[in-house]
């Protein structure tokens, strides 16, 4: 991958072809110098190492630095080479993760080192410098993902645990590479090198030396440097369940208002929005923005105001207690909260087709990210669905696959898809729209080879070649754990406002002298925002708006009960770093 060249002890700087290796201005370096210190470097010095936490933000004043993957290992390769004016690191520095590569001084010189905590605060205060660094770090993260840097997942494509680990890594936008036990030539060598028996897979290999045999998601999170949630009980003003756009908006507005705010998610920050290749109708981004970038910016913003994010942490129970709520997690730990915002989103609906279960995660997917697209190569693929998610996926996959068949059950693409997407889909030379078409069967033993599709007007069936199937046919709410706790509609979405009042226990509300507020459920102080709420508009912008609105309503509720925890000092809440933090 590298554009660096070695020869006669000369190493050339990597060109900034994609805007991810910008150079700081003398004025920006001067601003940074007020918060850090100058240090001399020596040839061969390791400035930071893969697998270890970042201690400093480093800018190069003179000399050159080489960024390496698998430094000292059998697969060592150059990622980039930087000269004076450039800065080092990637998204892991801002989010408290371990480094996914190693920085080695190639030509001695001088660097400017700013402690990570000061740098995070500076990025939040200086919009120009902050945006420059954040954009570069986001771009570098996706370069690492494309390179297959980071840890390796070694496992069979037929293993549910392999699928689980791959999904966790992809949804959290973590650099990694999957080595398929079934067909990757590297697999056998890795099994011998680490003494792994095939039945012990899947395994995660970190830093080319450490092996975790079938770790759960929390173990994988700890492996990359994210501190695990503490089992000790704590208390917060607001507990936000779900870290999609609604949950992250609630985290940002809650923390910025000085409330102790904890946001948890069972899998990843971002929800469905985080898997979107491009969101083109989100206000303020006329050229569009990827779901991953939007979510990473929101995560950093939440940290900036002092919100605590815990991933993975799955909620299993909600119990009223003394005008507050006890939130129980699947690991048995508990947290008390003065108010709760439910923003747990939805699950994608599965396609009910005989034999499809054995192909899920292998060549049948419910998201279309860079990870899934890289597996398609130049093969034809099919997308099922007639909404915006299906349209966005078709356009994204058309840049990877030789042909995309968009299968729509209805007869009008305009019925559920935004007009701007319809125009792009219909114009794209690699996308074929098949209306009145439904999937009736799949063919292929170890992976998808073709689909049996039916024209639902004439009941005519035919075979359609496809190496992968992407399904976007709606979703169901993540509310199984709320059954019997508060009122849900017939589809399982959470009732709020006037709908909740009709189903609420009047005796519970009489003492408050009011009914449920606009986003409030049948439990006082428990609010629902985003896709999980009955009657919500299933759009990223509306979810973010509801998350912010929920915090306003939390204030209205708490004015009655007065049980806020004010832990912030006169300068506001202290930032808490990292994507996963202690509950204590």
Residue range 157-166: average pLDDT?
A: 89
Query: What is the model's pLDDT at position 573?
Result: 39
Q: Which residues pair with 178 in a beta bridge?
A: 153
Mean pLDDT score of the chain = 89
**More reliable by pLDDT, 434 or 400:** 434
Percent of the chain with pLDDT over 90: 70
pLDDT tens digit sequence for 113-141: 999 999 998 988 899 999 999 999 999 99
- Alpha-carbon distance of 93 to 120, in angstroms, equals 9
DSSP string of 278-298, one letter each residue:
-B-SSTT-TT-B-HHHHHHHH
114 beta partners: 57
Tell me the per-residue pLDDT of 509-526, one tens digit each, with 9 for 90 and over: 988 889 999 999 999 999
d(CA 382, CA 216) in angstroms, rounded, equals 32
* pLDDT beyond 60 at 73: yes
Task: Identify the residue with better confidence: 560 or 8.
Answer: 560
Cβ distance 261 to 361 under 8 Å? no
Is residue 538 within 8 A of residue 530, CB to CB? The reply is no
Mean pLDDT for the stretch of residues 73-94: 94
User: What is the pLDDT confidence band of residue 537, given thresholds at 50, 70 and 90?
Assistant: confident
Residue 570 confidence (pLDDT): 36
Q: Is 567 exposed, middle or buried (0-12, 13-18, 19+ CB in 10 A)?
A: middle
- What pLDDT does residue 10 have? 57
**Alpha carbon distance 26, 32 (integer Å):** 10
Segment 462-487 shows an average pLDDT of 93
Residue 350 makes CB contacts below 8 A (sequence gap 6+) with 356, 360, 366, 471
Length of the chain, in residues: 584
Q: Give CA–CA dist 220/376, Å, rounded.
A: 26
Overall average pLDDT of the 67-80 stretch: 91
Model confidence at 539, in pLDDT bands (50, 70, 90)? confident
- Confidence bin at 500 (pLDDT 50/70/90): very high
Residues 219-270: tens digit of each pLDDT: 999 888 765 555 455 899 999 999 999 999 999 999 999 999 999 999 999 9
Query: What pLDDT sits at residue 563?
Result: 53
| pLDDT value, residue 448 | 92
Higher pLDDT, residue 211 or 230: 211
Evaluate if residue 111 carries a pLDDT over 80: yes
Mean per-residue pLDDT, 290-297: 91
* Average confidence (pLDDT) over 286-309: 91
pLDDT tier, 6 (very low <50, low <70, confident <90, very high otherwise): very low
- Top-confidence residue, 559 or 544: 544
pLDDT at 569: 39
- Residues pairing with 60 in the sheet: 111
How many CB atoms sit inside 10 A of residue 171's CB? 22
DSSP 200: G
Out of 274-288, 331-345, 373-387, give the one with best mean pLDDT: 331-345
Between CA 210 and CA 362 the distance in angstroms is: 26
The pLDDT-based confidence of 568 (bands split at 50, 70, 90) is very low
Decide if 334 contacts 327 (C-beta within 8 A).
yes
The pLDDT value given to residue 474: 82
Q: Which helix (H) or strand (E) holds 442?
A: strand 437-443
Are 201 and 155 in contact by the 8 Å Cβ rule? The answer is yes
Q: How confident is the model at residue 277 (pLDDT cuts 50, 70, 90)?
A: confident
Compute the distance between CA of residue 74 and CA of residue 522 in angstroms, rounded to an integer: 59
Cα dihedral 87→89→95→99 (10° resolution): -160
């Amino acid at each position: 991958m590298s554009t660096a060249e070695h020869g006669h002890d000369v190493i050339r700087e990597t060109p900034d072809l994609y805007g991810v290796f910008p150079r700081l201005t003398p004025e920006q370096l001067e601003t940074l110098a007020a918060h850090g210190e100058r240090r001399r470097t020596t040839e061969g010095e390791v400035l930071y190492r893969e697998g270890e936490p970042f201690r400093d933000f480093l800018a190069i004043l003179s000399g050159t630095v080489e960024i390496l993957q698998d430094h000292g290992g059998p697969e060592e390769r150059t990622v980039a080479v930087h000269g004076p004016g450039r800065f080092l690191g990637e998204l892991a520095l801002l989010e408290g993760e371990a480094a996914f590569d190693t920085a080695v001084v190639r030509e001695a010189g001088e660097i400017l080192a700013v402690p990570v905590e000061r740098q995070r605060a500076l990025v939040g205060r200086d919009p120009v410098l902050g945006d420059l660094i954040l954009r570069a770090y986001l771009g570098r993260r996706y370069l690492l993902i494309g390179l297959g840097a980071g840890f390796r997942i070694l496992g069979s494509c037929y293993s549910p645990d392999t699928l689980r680990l791959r999904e966790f890594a992809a949804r959290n936008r973590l650099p990694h590479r999957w080595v398929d036990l079934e067909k990757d030539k590297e697999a056998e060598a890795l099994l011998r090198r680490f003494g792994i028996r095939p039945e012990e897979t899947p395994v995660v290999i970190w830093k080319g030396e450490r092996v975790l045999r079938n770790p759960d998601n929390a173990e994988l999170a700890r492996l990359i440097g994210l501190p695990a949630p503490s089992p000790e009980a704590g208390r917060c003003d607001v507990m936000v369940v779900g870290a999609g756009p609604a949950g992250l908006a609630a985290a940002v507005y809650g923390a910025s208002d000085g409330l102790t705010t904890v946001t948890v998610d069972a899998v990843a920050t971002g929800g469905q929005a985080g898997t979107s290749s491009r969101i083109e109708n989100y206000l303020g981004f006329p050229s569009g923005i990827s779901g991953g970038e939007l979510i990473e910016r929101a995560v950093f913003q939440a940290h900036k105001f002092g919100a605590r994010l815990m991933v993975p942490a799955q909620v299993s129970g909600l119990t009223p207690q003394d005008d507050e709520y006890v939130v129980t997690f699947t690991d048995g730990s508990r947290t008390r909260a003065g108010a709760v915002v439910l923003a747990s989103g939805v699950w994608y609906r599965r396609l009910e087709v005989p034999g499809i279960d054995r192909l899920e995660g292998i060549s049948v997917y419910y998201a279309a990210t860079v990870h899934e697209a890289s597996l398609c190569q130049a093969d034809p693929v099919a997308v099922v669905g007639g909404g915006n998610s299906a349209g966005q996926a078709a356009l994204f996959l058309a840049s990877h696959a030789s042909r995309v068949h968009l299968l729509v059950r209805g007869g009008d693409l305009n019925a559920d898809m935004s007009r701007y997407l319809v125009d792009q889909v219909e114009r794209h030379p690699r996308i074929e729209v098949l209306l009145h078409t439904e999937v009736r069967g799949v063919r292929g033993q170890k992976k998808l080879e073709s689909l049996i599709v039916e024209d639902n007007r004439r009941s005519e069936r035919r075979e359609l070649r496809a190496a992968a199937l992407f399904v976007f046919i709606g979703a169901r709410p993540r509310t199984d754990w709320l059954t019997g706790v508060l009122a849900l509609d017939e589809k399982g979405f959470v009732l709020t406002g006037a709908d909740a009042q009709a189903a609420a226990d009047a005796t519970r509300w009489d003492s408050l002298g009011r009914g449920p507020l606009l986003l409030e459920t049948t439990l006082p102080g428990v609010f629902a925002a985003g896709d999980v709420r009955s009657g919500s508009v299933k759009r990223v912008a509306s979810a973010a708006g509801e998350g912010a609105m929920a915090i306003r309503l939390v204030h209205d509720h708490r004015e009655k009960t007065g049980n806020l925890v004010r832990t912030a000092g006169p300068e506001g809440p202290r930032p808490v770093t990292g994507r996963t933090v202690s509950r204590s």
